[in-house]
Structure 1
Amino acid sequence: MMAHLPLLPILIPLFAAGLALLAEHRRFGMAPQRAIAAVSLLAQLVVAVLLVRSVSDGNILVYLLGDWPARLGISLMVDRLAALMVMVALLLAIACWVHACAGWDRRAPHFQAFFQIQLMGLNGAFLTGDLFNLFVFFEVLLIASYGLLLSGGRAGRMRAGFHYVSVNIAASTLFLMALGLLYGLLGSLNMAEMAARIAAAPPQDRALIQAAASLLLLVFCTKAALLPLSLWLPETYAHAPGSVAALFAVMTKVGLYAVLRVSSLLFGSAAGALAGFAGSALLVAGVATLALASLGVIAATRLRVLASYLVLASAATLFVAFALGRPATISAGLYYLVHSTFAGAALFLIAHHVRRHRHGDATVAGLSARGWIVAGLMFLLAAISLAGLPPLSGFLGKLALLDATREHSEIWVALLLSSFIILLGLARAGSRVFWKQAPGAREVADAAPVQSRRRLEVAATFLLLAYGVAMSVAAAPLFAYTRAAAEQLATPQQYLEHVRAQTPVLRTP
């Protein structure tokens, strides 16, 4: 079983999705589907923990499906970064699933199946060692996201969903074009083999390799919503249901992961003349996106739109950290990636909670005094973390990033100024939502089923916020892990040698 460990995060949700479809019947209700999903998530959590333990000492797991050579078949590769991303996606998914079980999964056709397929696509994208299979898993998670986003949607959501689908179809087309060019030039799409062939590429092929790689990075930047390819994100996320929008908080991180993986492996220190390709362009675009996102936060009139721009701001911050390409900035960025995923997702759930009890334009009504306090406490914790204030994980991530970029004064100015603007935007939103009307002004007595659903939603939100608190308490081991992951990315030759030792059929032509 341990030998097949890298395959399980893909197989478990795949089989769970099939079983969920078989269990869909009015006579059975939602109980069988939820039970299948719960078992699947628990099993994936166990596997994710085992993956992290297996690679924490620097080991790299390589799995060849069908025992085909990696340059011909599907290869899965797990290092510290991949294991971290699988764990983050799963922890986020658990909270989103709990929130959805408060009632949304009843209104969305095939929700439980789509949810599991989404997890399969996310896990596959993080674990694959082959660019073509990265495209395949991208399409799997995107198809599932279309179903999750559009289920039960009306005019606004359908319009935003149409834009989302159109942008991703265009990006997928470019992805295929880039893969075709790279395969024609290098003869392989296995990333380990590509890295060796790019380093040994003749000078006359370098311009074509750069052109194909530019298309590839364009696709990944579209997925990660980098300016000017970010205009689709705010309205799409703002119209998504709460649990779906919270799950989508990790979607931009998939694009960022792909950029980091390709940049560090294919164009890292072992890439010869092509080392550091497009790093300066990504840095400039990241700063520009951060400026746009900060202005979006301060201008947002709806809490869900504000949460969407905060997701954009976190992606921009990560682009800045990863584009600098140093182990210290990548380490700080990985910690910030985990924090921003959980905190941003929590704000989407809070926005959903607030929207259900709104009166007029912005205030909360229909809540008891206790409910009003709970909602305010959730928003306060999320706002402190997202604004980068002590003592929560957002402050630690921003502090580590500022420390790693102390030689770049312009980066300092951009990060501090954006943090200040985001703080103002969150303070403005909090005052509008929670202080415009006295708590309990329109207090209503909820029926027991409504109270039960509300408690489940609140529990899911506090679970995400608890992740951030745990990251602050366990900051030292987490930073040690991200530092080791960053150093592993900074030395791709170690990755190549390890992979080749386990798959000797790989060889440079």
Structure 2
Amino acid sequence: MSPLAHLAAIPVLLPLAVGAFLLLFSEKRRGAKAALSVTTLTILLGVAIALVAMTLVPTAEGDPPVIVYPLGNWPAPFGIVLVVDRLSALMLLLNAVLGFGCLIFALARWHKMGPRFHTLYLMQVAGLNGAFLTGDLFNLFVFFEVLLAASYALLLHGSGTVRVRASLHYIPINLVASSLFLVGVALIYGVSGTLNMADLARVIPTLEPHDRMLLEGGAAVLGLAFLVKAGMWPLGFWLPTTYSAACAPVAALFAIMSKLGIYTVLRLSLLFFGEESGASAGFGAEWLLYGGLATIAFGGIGALASQSMPRLAGYCVIISSGTLLAAIGTGNSAVISGALFYLVSSTLAAAAFFLLIELIERGRDAGADVLAVTMEVFGDPEEDIEDEDAEVGIAIPGTIAVLGGAFLACTVLFAGLPPLSGFIAKFAILSAVINEAGGVSAVHWLYVFLLMLSGLAVLVAMTRTGIRALWAPQESEIPPVRAAELAPVLLFLFLCAGLTVFGGPVMEYMDVTAQVLYWPQEYARDVLGGQPAPATLPGGTEP
């Protein structure tokens, strides 16, 4: 095993160790905690970039490499393994970028609003990284529980009635999802005798019909748990309320939690029920397709009905989840490639928007959105009073101009308009669907229609909200904004612009990643064929 393979364990072990170490610090030593947290996230960002670079170097056979790290030096499928391929490395990098940017934003003031923020934040990052890296279902459950436990406390960070009310929905729903997770894992293990993902990909094609029925039942139950986290309709009703209640840096980090559900569905559906899985090939694909379409429609309607920016952002996340789930349901690798590009773009856009909302709403009175809707319906009595000395037009201060420009960029990204990365992502998905071999089915045309209609709905909703909040605010003040708070927003938007400029190389990466996902037996060979490092005796000699 190459010494560089040890990098695969750092995204899990480092934040867990530092988070536990920070428990020894008093809450008065926030400066030291912040320094350690920033250092940790900086290292994780560097490690993620290194892992992505390692997956770019093909093997001697010309195949994309898969890094297998056996914990405790026990080989798969008997031991716990961490697996880094192109998809997991991509998600690690995305999580590191979001984690770093949201932490910088939180250091301005939010990390002082409650106890143990840095420990909980690092535990959340570690849980996400572990879920992206793990190679077996049981440890996937473990890492899910780690990140969920941290998210329960982070949702309540900053206190307040709204956050407590949201947690009364969020926590029970996720506890039920965790119970479904265990039931599904138990059924799968009872039938197959293994929980290693690569081993399951090898075993599933050989199952007898009666065992296959139980396995598919377990997979369906397991899928419900993932789809709750992904926010698929009707399982995602909790998402807009929860995300809008969380403080800004937490809500921005939560943007990738829904994508974790998408990642797991994509990984397991193609690994367990790909073309090589025998009679189970394509199991659940239609449910994902139709469920994704319903989720897009639900998110579009919710966006148009939203009277506040945080809820609008939540419904934009739901639309992105529906788009990705429907893409997985098409079973087309070219569509999956565009969907991976869309996953990165939409996650960065959602994180930037959640942070931006907090900056914009500082200068607004409580209930300003509801007041604006009321005035649209009934009118403003003061508008009838003519003032000959009133100035024509309004002066736009520099802060409002910057925030307005960032809001415009988020609008363009969510609506899928050129020239930013949202347009490239949606164009890649649409072109792959329309150019599908064998003709385009009616349901795929419906996917195209809903994808375009949802973009129009988001454009209308964002434009209306932007006019209320930035162009004609009611008795608002210029919000005080620090450079450290604005920098993460601009960073995420700059990365989206970078995805546009370097769209060709990025799409090539996504194309290869999507193709590799359709080779489950190759994945199983790489994971199960990896050998542990030879044991050594004191003195450096082998036994």
State the TM-score, normalized to the length of structure 1.
0.94
CA deviation profile, 1:230-277 (whole Å, cap 9, x unmatched): 111010001010111000000000000010011010111221110110
How many Å apart are 1:62 and its aligned residue? Answer: 0.6
- Partner secondary structure for residue 188 of structure 1: coil
The one of 504, 509, 516 equivalent to 1:476 is 504
What corresponds to 2:465 in structure 1? 429
Q: Name the CA distance, whole Å, in 2 between partners of 1:129 and 1:503.
A: 15
Task: Tell me if the contact between 2:202 and 2:521 (Cα under 8 Å) persists in the aligned partners.
Answer: no
What corresponds to 1:55 in structure 2? 55
What corresponds to 1:361 in structure 2? 368
Task: Tell me if the contact between 2:336 and 2:514 (Cα under 8 Å) persists in the aligned partners.
Answer: yes
Sequence identity of aligned pairs in percent? 42
CA deviation profile, 1:104-124 (whole Å, cap 9, x unmatched): 001121111111111100000
How many Å apart are 1:503 and its aligned residue? Answer: 4.6
Asked if residue 343 in structure 1 is aligned to residue 349 in structure 2, the reply is yes
Q: Name the CA distance, whole Å, in 2 between partners of 1:385 and 1:443.
A: 27
What corresponds to 2:391 in structure 1? none
Asked if residue 227 in structure 1 is aligned to residue 242 in structure 2, the reply is no
How many Å apart are 1:282 and its aligned residue? Answer: 0.8
Q: Name the CA distance, whole Å, in 2 between partners of 1:443 and 1:496.
A: 59
Q: Name the CA distance, whole Å, in 1 between partners of 2:117 and 2:499.
A: 30
Tell which deviates more after alignment, 248-257 or 40-49. 40-49
What is the RMSD computed on CA atoms of the aligned residues?
1.7
Q: Name the CA distance, whole Å, in 2 between partners of 1:48 and 1:486.
A: 20
Task: Tell me if the contact between 1:24 and 1:33 (Cα under 8 Å) persists in the aligned partners.
Answer: no
Equivalent positions of 1:78-117 (< 5 A) are 78-117=84-123
Task: Tell me if the contact between 1:195 and 1:265 (Cα under 8 Å) persists in the aligned partners.
Answer: yes
CA deviation profile, 1:73-130 (whole Å, cap 9, x unmatched): 2111111000000000111111101110110001121111111111100000000000
Task: Tell me if the contact between 2:363 and 2:477 (Cα under 8 Å) persists in the aligned partners.
Answer: no
- Partner secondary structure for residue 62 of structure 1: strand
Which amino acid in the other structure matches residue 331 of structure 1? S
Which amino acid in the other structure matches residue 52 of structure 1? V
What corresponds to 1:18 in structure 2? 20
How many Å apart are 1:69 and its aligned residue? Answer: 3.0
Tell which deviates more after alignment, 216-225 or 457-466. 457-466
Q: Name the CA distance, whole Å, in 1 between partners of 2:433 and 2:263.
A: 21
- Partner secondary structure for residue 425 of structure 1: helix
CA deviation profile, 1:206-230 (whole Å, cap 9, x unmatched): 1111111100111110110111101
CA deviation profile, 1:270-323 (whole Å, cap 9, x unmatched): 211101100011100100010000001111000000000000100100001111
Equivalent positions of 1:159-238 (< 5 A) are 159-238=165-244
Q: Name the CA distance, whole Å, in 2 between partners of 1:138 and 1:228.
A: 21
Larger Rg: 2
How many Å apart are 1:435 and its aligned residue? Answer: 2.1
How many Å apart are 1:443 and its aligned residue? Answer: 5.0
Task: Tell me if the contact between 1:61 and 1:77 (Cα under 8 Å) persists in the aligned partners.
Answer: yes
Which amino acid in the other structure matches residue 481 of structure 1? Y
Asked if residue 137 in structure 1 is aligned to residue 143 in structure 2, the reply is yes
Q: Name the CA distance, whole Å, in 2 between partners of 1:495 and 1:98.
A: 37
- Partner secondary structure for residue 48 of structure 2: helix
Asked if residue 124 in structure 1 is aligned to residue 130 in structure 2, the reply is yes
Task: Tell me if the contact between 2:415 and 2:458 (Cα under 8 Å) persists in the aligned partners.
Answer: yes
What corresponds to 1:263 in structure 2? 269
Question: Unmatched 5+ residue regions in structure 2?
Answer: 59-63, 373-394, 435-439, 533-543
What corresponds to 1:2 in structure 2? 4
Task: Tell me if the contact between 1:283 and 1:320 (Cα under 8 Å) persists in the aligned partners.
Answer: yes
Asked if residue 400 in structure 1 is aligned to residue 428 in structure 2, the reply is yes
What corresponds to 1:153 in structure 2? 159
Which amino acid in the other structure matches residue 49 of structure 1? I
Q: Name the CA distance, whole Å, in 2 between partners of 1:495 and 1:72.
A: 17
CA deviation profile, 1:407-442 (whole Å, cap 9, x unmatched): 33222111111111111111111111122238xx76
How many Å apart are 1:152 and its aligned residue? Answer: 2.5
Which amino acid in the other structure matches residue 394 of structure 1? G
- Partner secondary structure for residue 63 of structure 1: strand
- Partner secondary structure for residue 54 of structure 1: helix
Asked if residue 306 in structure 1 is aligned to residue 342 in structure 2, the reply is no
Which amino acid in the other structure matches residue 88 of structure 1? L
Q: Name the CA distance, whole Å, in 1 between partners of 2:166 and 2:123.
A: 22
Q: Name the CA distance, whole Å, in 2 between partners of 1:465 and 1:9.
A: 25
What corresponds to 1:33 in structure 2? 33
- Partner secondary structure for residue 226 of structure 1: coil
Q: Name the CA distance, whole Å, in 2 between partners of 1:357 and 1:11.
A: 41
How many Å apart are 1:344 and its aligned residue? Answer: 0.8
What corresponds to 1:507 in structure 2? none
- Partner secondary structure for residue 277 of structure 2: helix
Q: Name the CA distance, whole Å, in 2 between partners of 1:396 and 1:272.
A: 35
Q: Are the structure 2 counterparts of residues 493 and 98 from structure 1 closer, same or farther at C-alpha, using a change threshold of 3 Å? A: same
- Partner secondary structure for residue 259 of structure 1: helix
- Partner secondary structure for residue 356 of structure 1: helix
The one of 65, 74, 81 equivalent to 1:75 is 81
- Partner secondary structure for residue 231 of structure 1: coil
How many Å apart are 1:501 and its aligned residue? Answer: 2.1
- Partner secondary structure for residue 368 of structure 2: coil
Q: Are the structure 2 counterparts of residues 306 and 25 from structure 1 closer, same or farther at C-alpha, using a change threshold of 3 Å? A: closer
Task: Tell me if the contact between 2:158 and 2:247 (Cα under 8 Å) persists in the aligned partners.
Answer: no
How many Å apart are 1:25 and its aligned residue? Answer: 3.9
Which amino acid in the other structure matches residue 3 of structure 1? A
Q: Name the CA distance, whole Å, in 2 between partners of 1:279 and 1:373.
A: 45
- Partner secondary structure for residue 472 of structure 2: coil
What corresponds to 2:519 in structure 1? 491
Question: Unmatched 5+ residue regions in structure 1?
Answer: 505-509
